[in-house]
Amino acid sequence: MRRIFTSLIIAILLFSIQLPRTTFAAFEEPPIVIDTGKIVNGRTLIPIRVVSEKFGFKVQWDQNLKTVVISDKTTKITLKVNSKEATINENKVSLDVPAQIHKGTTYVPLKFLSHAFGASVEWNQSFKVAHVTFEKINILIYTQIKPIPLVTDEQFKTFSQIANEAAVITDIRQAKAYFKPYFTDKLLGNIIWYKGLPFDTQFDAEKNSMITYKDIYNSEATISQSTHFVSLVWLTRTMQLTFTDEGWKIQKIDFKYLYL
């Protein structure tokens, strides 16, 4: 039985090579990101054309009437610029603030998405972003803060290699300058103090490695890696990444044994 269990665990570890390298919390696919939302006089405004089209609706603009018509097979929505009133299938609804044009783009209040489409709307104050869910579509509409970019494949490989190189520190002065772009100051200080990491085991970014994100806003990322250590023991390395003004940096590295 132990042999079967051991073989199963090893198979799972090896099979992880075939899994997608990037995974997202709670969602199968990353959300659609729109970074042209606005906050005007305390009201969150969203670009109605791009959002409607992402929902699968057709959008038409009548220049003479200054009117936007949004439609699909069962729904017709009419919005008039500078008016606090809209029509949804002949039913009139009120807007908190009028539909308005900013640099050629028509904006409406965020709440209108719930009335018009039945979409679920959540506001994240920390990131100044609206999370809009419609059927299986997830959209993040950023207003004042730019969205955090995903870790690229090249960065993924670089962080893995940098962590390998930091396993043993021989030249402290050179290490401070060399590793500064990749580690937070606190982590780099600890690595230099201990002249490296607890293990000098090398990990392969192409094998048994994956990255996950804490939330849909990509506020934090975790790179998880595993490699065979000795006999029936595997070693895992977990790197927690945070996004700073200088970009992504590693803020913590943990190691754990996995006994088979």
Which pLDDT tens digit goes with each residue over 1-56? 434 344 444 444 444 434 445 555 545 578 999 999 999 999 999 999 999 999 99
Strand ranges across the sheet with 22-24: 22-24, 209-213, 220-230, 233-244, 247-259
Provide the pLDDT for residue 18.
42
DSSP class per residue in the chain: -HHHHHHHHHHHHHHGGGS-SEEETTBSSPPEEE---EEETTEEEEEHHHHHHHTT-EEEEETTTTEEEEE-SS-EEEEEBT-SEEEETTEEEE-SS-BEEETTEEEEETTHHHHHH--EEEEETTTTEEEEEETTEEEEEESSSPPPPPPPHHHHHHHHHHHHHTTB-S-HHHHHHHHTTTB-HHHHHHHHHTTB-S------TTSSEEEEESSTT--EEEEEEEEEEETTEEEEEEEEEEEETTEEEEEEEEEEEEE-
Distance CA 216, CA 205 (A): 24
Residue ranges of the chain whose pLDDT lies below 50: 1-20, 26
CA dist 52 and 59 (Å) reads 7
Write down the domain spans for the chain: 2-27+150-259, 32-142
Separation CA 18–CA 3 (nearest Å): 23
The pLDDT value recorded for residue 14 is: 43
Domain 32-142 falls in which CATH fold? Copper Amine Oxidase; Chain A, domain 1 (3.30.457)
What's the pLDDT score for residue 16? 43
Distance CA 148, CA 164 (A): 26
Check residue 22 and give its pLDDT: 54
Q: How wide is the angle at C-alpha 45 spanned by C-alphas 39 and 47, nearest 5°?
A: 130
Instruction: Tell me whether the CATH fold assigned to 2-27+150-259 matches the one assigned to 32-142.
Output: no
Q: What is the pLDDT of residue 145?
A: 86
Given this model, what pLDDT does residue 260 score?
80
CATH of 2-27+150-259, one of 2.30.29, 2.40.160, 3.10.450, 1.10.20: 3.10.450
* CA gap 110, 146 in Å, rounded: 18
CA–CA gap between residue 202 and residue 237 (Å, rounded): 10
The confidence score (pLDDT) of residue 5 equals 41
